[in-house]
């Protein structure tokens, strides 16, 4: 986003436009962080279930 566009948005719509974009960006960053943690947890759970499955006696 260029500086001119940002200044134009602020001039036309006030600080509300900047705040909305900031909140959307912050929400996006939180979603990315949550996805990383969930992916890591899924990998750990897969490893744990594999270890348990390997140690169970086979009938």
Residue-wise pLDDT tens digits, 7-51 = 887 788 878 877 888 899 999 999 999 999 999 999 999 999 999
Segment 8-12 long-range contacts (CB within 8 Å, at least 24 positions apart): none
How far does Cα 6 stand from its chain's mean position?
25
pLDDT score of 10:
78
pLDDT score of 3:
73
Owning domain of residue 31: 1-55
**pTM for the predicted model, two decimal places:** 0.61
pLDDT score of 1:
55
State how many domains the chain has. 1
């Amino acid at each position: 986003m260029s500086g001119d566009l940002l200044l134009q948005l602020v001039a036309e719509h006030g600080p509300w436009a900047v705040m909305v974009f900031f909140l959307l960006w912050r929400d996006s960053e939180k979603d990315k962080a949550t996805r990383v943690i969930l992916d890591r947890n899924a990998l750990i759970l897969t490893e744990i279930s594999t270890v348990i499955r390997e140690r169970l006696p086979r009938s």
